[in-house]
Structure 1
Amino acid sequence: MALLHTHLDHLVITAPNLPAGIAHAEETLGVALQPGGTHARMGTHNALLKLNESCYLEVIAINPELPSPNCARWFELDGLGRYGQPRLRHWVARTNNIQSAQALQKGWFGAIESMSRSHLNWLISIPPDGSLPLSGVCPTLIQWQSEPHPASMLSDVGCSLIRLEGYHPKAEKLQEVLDKINFEGSFQVHPIDSSERPYLVAHLQTPKGICVLDSR
């Protein structure tokens, strides 16, 4: 059996609608996003920004032209509401064996679901209620079943991820889980008091300098 490996795959910005999410990302980063596509099973659509050959930024929102799914939408989009603000909300970690990674910490990542968009196919972990693991600080797991990686098909507009930071009262436990799944990448987790709200901070290099996306 191949050794389990996990890497940072993409960042997730959620928004009440896709135009608002795109505008937020483009105003913050100073670059244009590219169209993504629709996720018929989840009733969502997205726009994308390349960060390197195997990492990207995703803006995702409910697609009002698609029927509502018969399950909870991913990334807590059902609870966002039309007045929710676009913001960095989550991150996704790519693994070469999603079943093994999920089994190492049962109850954290959710069920493994098969998804597709256009010619892309993948497996992804989704809690049944659509919630985010550890309030979004613990990653969702993904295993791509198609090639090439979607980031490699995006235009390079001069953006890259410097580092992603997570703040959570269970930082030590999260680090243990990341070590279990052999995570490698520019993610740092920091402890905060149990009374504080967990959050993420992404530092990105852009054509206009270093920009920050914050989930607070």
Structure 2
Amino acid sequence: MIDHLVYAVPDLALADDLGIALSPGGPHVGLGTRNLLASLGGDAYLEVIGPDPEQPEPDGPRPFGIDDLTEPKLVAWAVRVEDIDEAVERAKARGYDPGPVMSMSRVRPDGVLLEWRLTPPVAGILPFLIDWGSTLHPSASAAQGAVLESLLVTDYDKDAAYEGLKALGLRDFAMGYGPPGLMAEIRTSDGEVVLR
């Protein structure tokens, strides 16, 4: 179900204070971002994403509102699917359009090329969809030791948010009442880390 959580930071140096062991992911060429990764158990992982000082300024804004961040924030999450085109059509038939499918890639520090297809990776309480095809899943090479205990999605309009989750096939996902947002509880060898 959950493929990964996206924790955006205004500066990747802030990841040192996270309390979770992270490994280098790689740059998103042209987007002006780079990421660090941690396996969360199962086939899920945490992506910490921020500006890449080694890249030129991108033509447009960096994803997930990174350019406007003043502090780290859990901004998005992704759900893994095996046939993304079919999953998008199924969601549309159920009343929710997750957006057009696009292709992306990045090269890991060890030179391995990762390629995937996804719906627009935008910040929000509803997940975007991702299909890794035949690419080795990033959780396999990410830093180990953390476990995702829970992910809570909150919104004042729980019914509308839940309808979107149901359209994506996430019928049993728990919702909380409150300001729109995400909260993850992650267990590490040094204790629990809460990301908001």
TM-score surpassing 0.5? yes
> Is 1:36 equivalent to 2:36 in the alignment?
no
Q: 1:207 aligns with which of 186, 189, 192?
A: 189
> Is 1:59 equivalent to 2:48 in the alignment?
yes
Checking the alignment, whether the CA contact within 8 Å between 1:8 and 1:55 is kept in structure 2 is yes
| CA deviation string 1:12-59 (max 9, x = no partner) | 111111112x12323xxxx42111100103221010111114101111
Normalization by structure 2: what TM-score? 0.84
CA apart distance, 1:66: 1.4
| CA deviation string 1:118-173 (max 9, x = no partner) | 1110112227xxx52xxx2111211112332110222422x101110011123222
List gaps (5 residues or longer) in structure 2: 108-112
> Is 1:89 equivalent to 2:75 in the alignment?
yes
Normalization by structure 1: what TM-score? 0.77
CA apart distance, 1:191: 3.0
Separation in structure 1 between the aligned mates of residue 162 and residue 98 of structure 2, nearest angstrom: 15
2:110 maps to: none
List gaps (5 residues or longer) in structure 1: 1-6
CA apart distance, 1:179: 2.1
Q: What is the number of equivalent residue pairs in this alignment?
A: 188
Separation in structure 1 between the aligned mates of residue 101 and residue 58 of structure 2, nearest angstrom: 17
Q: 1:12 aligns with which of 2, 6, 31?
A: 6
**CA 1:48 to 1:63, structure 2 compared with 1: closer, same or farther past 3 Å?**
same
Separation in structure 2 between the aligned mates of residue 111 and residue 66 of structure 1, nearest angstrom: 27
- CA RMSD in angstroms, aligned pairs only: 2.3
> Is 1:122 equivalent to 2:111 in the alignment?
no
Q: 1:153 aligns with which of 108, 127, 141?
A: 141
**CA 1:67 to 1:113, structure 2 compared with 1: closer, same or farther past 3 Å?**
farther
Checking the alignment, whether the CA contact within 8 Å between 2:82 and 2:133 is kept in structure 1 is no
CA apart distance, 1:180: 2.3
**CA 1:79 to 1:107, structure 2 compared with 1: closer, same or farther past 3 Å?**
farther
1:101 maps to: 87
**CA 1:77 to 1:155, structure 2 compared with 1: closer, same or farther past 3 Å?**
closer
